[in-house]
């Protein structure tokens, strides 16, 4: 009865925001969507209604401030931030990848950078920043953690002085136990960041002589016989074991696939011999990587899809290509799993690798839609 009342209430009052908060409309959890501008995916097509946060990738650090990576990026910032006019609950963030070495040095430089960066973010109307340093050296751990604390202190000061909501701070964190264990202090992260996307992908890809059998990019559960840490569930267990607060942990979900060239077209299961990265996909022509558009095209052209009931992900084989990819079913399963573990939500890499063309059956952007629907369906009550 309460559920029914609540559901009706949500329908009636959603737009007024008086009954169910945004978070509850999203099953209580965040959907943090990374986006990188490409020719085939203009910013105007970013599905801002399907994400709680849009993170624009990337800008760089230079001269103790943030600099856009490409001419025209500031126009993209305006488009993304502009979505907030019609969607005021949306948060738009900017992700930094290069240049940390120059500012993760001494406290004065860190503070100077923080002040400049906050000025830059406020100027363009961003709601926060994402630190995607891949990766500090072990010897830089203490300084990086100091940098995060100084940045947080400056965002707090900025929010008090400007009487405005504090900028959000997020991070992208690596996909293995070794780096997770040595590069970060989780007490400092818990106290100073809003959330982190745990990059639960690239567990396997073709590497000559090192990874020359087919494997999954992002299994929820590792296949029998493989290192259990090399999976979404295994990676998240590592971070929670290290002390990252579950509500700050986002399960990273890839929308792309990783392709291999089979040694023998007749041997096309998991762990089959491979001799090269996969041939360029049929639409986007990337070697070793399939966007979801490529996956749907390959399946239409006669590729065979196989679901793995242990790892809860599919793969396809098509001629001599073998692709570990994400489907609506696999991404929805990860969303439900993340919510069941009490995580803060999911971090999706990336919007532009989903299908915008209509090559896939169903709605445009099937994977982001599946993630959004799965998150909504995890709602069971309001208040």
Ligand X SMILES: *[C@@H]1O[C@H](CO)[C@@H](O)[C@H](O)[C@H]1NC(C)=O
* Contacting residues toward ligand X, per CB under 6 A: 62-63, 67, 163, 177, 209, 212, 227, 229, 238, 241, 263, 273, 275
Phi-psi region at 75: left, alpha or beta (left = phi > 0; alpha = psi -120 to 50): alpha
Distance CA 364, CA 138 (A): 42
Q: Toward ligand X, which CB reaches closer, 259 or 291?
A: 259
Distance CA 188, CA 210 (A): 35
Largest CA distance in the chain: 67
Distance CA 380, CA 7 (A): 9
Q: Toward ligand X, which CB reaches closer, 63 or 191?
A: 63
- The dihedral sign for the CA sequence 170, 57, 357, 88: positive
Name the DSSP class of 207: B
Could you tell me how many helices (H) and strands (E) the chain has, helices first? 11, 15
Minimum distance between the CB of residue 198 and ligand X, rounded to whole angstroms?
13
Minimum distance between the CB of residue 33 and ligand X, rounded to whole angstroms?
28
Minimum distance between the CB of residue 65 and ligand X, rounded to whole angstroms?
8
Minimum distance between the CB of residue 314 and ligand X, rounded to whole angstroms?
24
Q: Toward ligand X, which CB reaches closer, 295 or 311?
A: 311
Minimum distance between the CB of residue 224 and ligand X, rounded to whole angstroms?
14
Distance CA 275, CA 262 (A): 6
| Sequence-separated (6 or more) residues with CB below 8 Å from residue 233 | 220, 221, 337
3-state secondary structure 104-138: CCCHHHHHHHHHHHHHHHHHHCCCEEEECCCCCCH
Q: Toward ligand X, which CB reaches closer, 48 or 268?
A: 268
Q: Toward ligand X, which CB reaches closer, 10 or 263?
A: 263
Minimum distance between the CB of residue 272 and ligand X, rounded to whole angstroms?
10
């Amino acid at each position: 009865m309460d559920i029914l009342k609540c559901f009706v209430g949500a329908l009636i009052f959603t737009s007024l925001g008086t009954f169910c908060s945004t978070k509850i409309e999203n099953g209580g959890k965040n959907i943090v969507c990374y986006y990188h501008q490409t020719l085939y995916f203009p910013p105007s097509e970013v599905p801002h209604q399907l994400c709680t946060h849009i993170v624009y990738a990337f800008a760089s650090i230079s001269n103790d401030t943030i600099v856009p990576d490409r001419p025209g990026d500031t126009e993209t910032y305006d488009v993304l931030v502009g979505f907030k006019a019609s969607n005021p609950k949306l948060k738009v963030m900017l992700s930094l990848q290069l240049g940390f070495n120059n500012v993760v040095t001494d406290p004065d430089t860190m503070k100077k950078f923080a002040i400049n960066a906050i000025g830059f973010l406020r100027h363009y109307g961003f709601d926060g920043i994402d630190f995607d340093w891949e990766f500090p050296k072990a010897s830089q751990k203490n300084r990086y953690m100091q940098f995060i604390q100084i940045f947080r202190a400056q965002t707090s000061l900025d929010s008090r002085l400007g009487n405005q909501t504090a900028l959000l701070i997020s991070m992208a964190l690596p996909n293995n136990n070794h780096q997770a264990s040595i590069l970060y202090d989780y007490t400092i992260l818990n106290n100073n960041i809003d959330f982190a996307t745990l990059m639960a992908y690239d567990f396997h890809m073709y590497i000559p002589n090192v990874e020359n059998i087919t494997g999954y990019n992002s299994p929820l559960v590792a296949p029998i016989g493989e290192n259990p840490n090399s999976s979404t569930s295994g990676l998240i267990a590592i971070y929670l074991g290290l002390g990252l607060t579950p509500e700050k942990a986002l399960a990273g979900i890839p929308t792309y696939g990783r392709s291999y060239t089979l040694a023998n077209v007749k041997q096309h299961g998991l762990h089959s011999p491979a001799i090269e990265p996969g041939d360029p996909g049929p639409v986007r022509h990337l070697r070793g990587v399939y966007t979801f558009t490529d996956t749907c095209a390959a399946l239409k052209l006669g590729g065979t899809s196989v679901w793995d009931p242990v790892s809860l992900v599919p793969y396809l084989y098509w001629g001599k290509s073998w692709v570990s990819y994400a489907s609506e079913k696999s991404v929805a399963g990860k969303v439900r799993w993340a919510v069941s573990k009490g995580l803060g939500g999911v971090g999706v890499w990336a919007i532009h690798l989903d299908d915008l063309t209509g090559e896939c059956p169903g709605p445009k952007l099937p994977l982001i839609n599946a993630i959004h629907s799965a998150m909504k369906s995890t709602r069971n009550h309001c208040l």
